């Protein structure tokens, strides 16, 4: 090899080496930049760790911190009453939050208004259905688990217990009465207690249910009073769509010898009602919230990152994606075979083989008696949005009591 060729070879080799170093440097730079990106995550809560609903959301804090370490800083506002959320949300914006989770239904209108005002912040509203309504905003999203599935399974387990009581002569089939402590007459609540009742009816065809509203999400005294009244009226099972332990405590404090069982929501009530708590269900918020945070960290669209049923800027899912989970089953008092039955029903729901809202029932709109729905034709809940839409009271079998 002559001198000129050696020189050319050396220049080529050095050039290639330089290109490799530059490419490696660019790659390391971007990897480093990705690793160093940090964001602030905000939460607005209607309650605090003392109520089951908020506590259930707060479990996601640990999940976020465990997955993203110091890339994420969490800021939260607690005990923010519906109607007072604007101040809390704006505080989180001023604190530099990149994504804000608003967690109570009544926050939805304000959250969307502020999303329009602050387009650089991602807003994720739980339990609402206004993300796809005009104006549709790129930075406003809604999400919720298909909790009717969990309610239905809870109803099946409660129905098995009722059936056992009837077969053992403890109660008659006419005494298969259910009491339900509900917060507000919203579709979310009505859908939930209807699914629960239909789960019971899959086991006990003669069961009836009485519903009482507290007109508050989190009023311990009111919830307990309603449960106590329902128990006095002869209800054998008490369930709830409200945020405190009140109904569970009312069941546990019932006089000895009286038959009563409790079905919970959001978290197990076994610690406060060990002899009466039966089972419960909850929405697992972790899959959505963790994935939404990840999307912001990676500058990706939330709906392209979260696994679920996507409909525009709204996402929901049930047992299939782990968005709905059953709470602890109290096998000491549950009917024989409850665990196996629970697993079987969940498996069927995942496969789409159970149509929950179907049967020989007539639903009546509580706001307009001329608006009815025949459940013989079935009703597909969460068909077009993650928030529940079933808003009919089953005539003659479910009674709303003032």
In tens, the pLDDT along 334-385 reads 999 999 999 999 999 999 999 999 999 999 999 999 999 999 999 999 999 9
Verify that 176 and 294 share a domain, yes or no: no
Residue-number span of the structural domain to which 132 is assigned: 37-145+285-318
Out of 71-75, 110-114, 205-209, 266-270, least confident range: 266-270
- At residue 57, does pLDDT exceed 50? yes
- Over 50: is that where the pLDDT of 295 sits? yes
Q: What is the mean pLDDT of residues 398-402?
A: 95
Residue 272 in this model has a pLDDT that exceeds 60: yes
Mean pLDDT of 254-267: 93
- The CATH code of the domain that includes 104 is 3.40.50.2300
- Antiparallel, parallel or unpaired: β 261-265 and 208-213: unpaired
- Share above pLDDT 70 across residues of the chain, in percent, rounded to a whole number: 91
265 and 123 share one domain: no
Helix/strand/coil for 230: helix
Structural domain includes residue 28: no
Cis ω on the peptide bond leading into residue 363 (within 30° of 0)?
no
What local confidence, expressed as pLDDT, does residue 13 receive? 46
Phi, psi of 121 (to 5 degrees): -110, 135
The DSSP result for 68-116, as a single string, is: HGGGEEEEEE-S--TT-HHHHHHHHHHTT-SEEEE-SGGGHHHHHHHHH
Q: Going edge to edge, which strands form the sheet with 140-145?
A: 72-77, 39-44, 99-102, 122-126, 140-145, 314-317, 309-311
| Domain total in the chain | 2
Phi (first) and psi of residue 130, to 5 degrees? -110, 10
326 Cβ contact partners less than 8 Å away, ≥ 6 residues apart? 150, 153, 154, 279, 280, 281, 342, 346
Look at residue 32 and tell me whether its pLDDT is greater than 90: no
* Residues 189 and 152 reside in one and the same domain: yes
Boundary-marking domain end, from 318, 337, 370: 318
Q: Are residues 352 and 227 in the same domain?
A: yes
First-residue to last-residue Cα distance in the chain: 102
Read off the pLDDT of each residue in 256-266 and give the average, rounded to a whole number.
94
Interval 7-29: pLDDT, tens = 545 455 445 555 555 555 555 55
Burial class for 240, CB neighbours closer than 10 Å (0-12, 13-18, 19+): buried
Same domain, 204 and 270: yes
Q: Side-chain half-sphere of 183: how many Cα atoms within 13 Å? A: 20
At residue 397, does pLDDT exceed 50? yes
Tell me the average pLDDT across 284-312: 97
User: 121 and 194: one domain?
Assistant: no
**Of 136 and 402, more confident:** 136
Chain-wide mean pLDDT for the chain? 93
Q: Are residues 178 and 196 in the same domain?
A: yes
Share of the chain above pLDDT 90, in %: 88
For residue 373, the SS3 value is strand
Q: Are residues 269 and 297 in the same domain?
A: no
| Domain contains 290 | yes
Residues 187-244 have pLDDT tens digits of 999 999 999 999 999 999 999 999 999 999 889 999 999 999 999 999 999 999 999 9
| More reliable by pLDDT, 52 or 326 | 326
Tokens representing 80 are 């923010």
Is residue 19 situated within a structural domain? no
Query: How far is residue 276 CA from its own chain's centroid?
Result: 24
What local confidence, expressed as pLDDT, does residue 79 receive? 96
In the predicted structure, residue 36 carries a pLDDT above the cut 70 = no
Residues 253 and 161 in one domain: yes
Q: Directed axis angle between helix 85-94 and helix 108-117, to 10°?
A: 30
CB under 8 Å to 91, separation ≥6 — which residues?
77
Same domain for 114 and 187, yes or no, is: no
Reported as a single tens digit per residue, the pLDDT across 102-156 is 999 999 999 999 999 999 999 999 999 999 999 999 999 999 999 999 999 999 9
Same domain assignment for residues 194 and 124: no
Q: Confirm whether 30 is domain-assigned.
A: no
DSSP structural state of residue 288: H
**Is 195 in contact with 355 (CB distance < 8 Å)?**
no
Do 226 and 237 fall within a single domain?
yes
DSSP state of 317: E
């Amino acid at each position: 090899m002559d001198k000129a060729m050696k020189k050319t070879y050396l220049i080529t080799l050095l050039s290639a080496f330089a290109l490799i170093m530059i490419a490696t440097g660019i790659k390391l730079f971007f990897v480093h930049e990705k690793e160093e990106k940090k964001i602030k995550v905000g939460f607005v809560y209607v309650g605090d760790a003392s109520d089951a609903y908020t506590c259930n959301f707060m479990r996601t804090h640990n999940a976020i911190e465990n997955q993203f370490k110091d890339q994420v800083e969490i800021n939260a506002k607690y005990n923010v009453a519906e109607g007072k959320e604007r101040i809390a949300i704006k505080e989180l914006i001023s604190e530099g939050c990149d994504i804000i989770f608003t967690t109570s239904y009544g926050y939805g209108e304000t959250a969307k208004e502020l999303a329009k005002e602050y387009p650089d912040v991602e807003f994720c509203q739980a339990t609402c259905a206004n993300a796809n309504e005009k104006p549709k905003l790129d930075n406003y999203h809604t999400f919720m688990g298909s909790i009717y599935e969990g309610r239905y399974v809870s109803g099946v387990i409660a129905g098995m217990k009722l059936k056992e009581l009837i077969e053992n002569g403890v109660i008659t089939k006419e005494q298969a009465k259910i009491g339900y402590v509900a917060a507000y007459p919203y579709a979310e609540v009505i859908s939930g207690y209807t699914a629960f009742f239909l789960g019971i009816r899959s086991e006990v065809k003669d069961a009836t249910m009485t519903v009482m509203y507290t007109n508050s999400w989190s009023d311990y005294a009111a919830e307990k009073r309603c449960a106590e009244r329902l128990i006095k009226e002869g209800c054998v099972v008490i369930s709830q769509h409200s945020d405190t332990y009140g109904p569970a405590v009312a069941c546990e404090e019932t006089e000895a010898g009286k038959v009563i069982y409790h079905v919970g929501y959001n978290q197990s009530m076994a610690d406060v009602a060990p002899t009466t708590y039966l089972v419960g269900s909850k929405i697992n918020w972790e899959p959505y919230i963790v994935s939404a945070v990840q999307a912001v960290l990676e500058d990706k669209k939330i709906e392209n990152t979260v696994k679920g049923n996507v409909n525009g800027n709204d996402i929901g899912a049930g047992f299939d994606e782990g968005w709905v989970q059953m709470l602890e089953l109290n096998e000491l008092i549950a009917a024989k075979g409850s665990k196996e039955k629970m697993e079987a029903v969940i498996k069927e729901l995942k496969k789409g083989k159970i149509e929950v809202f179907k049967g020989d029932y007539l639903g009546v709109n509580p706001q307009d008696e001329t608006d009815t729905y025949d459940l013989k034709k079935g009703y597909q809940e969460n068909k077009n949005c993650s928030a529940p839409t079933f808003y009919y009271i089953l005539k003659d079998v479910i009674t709303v009591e003032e």
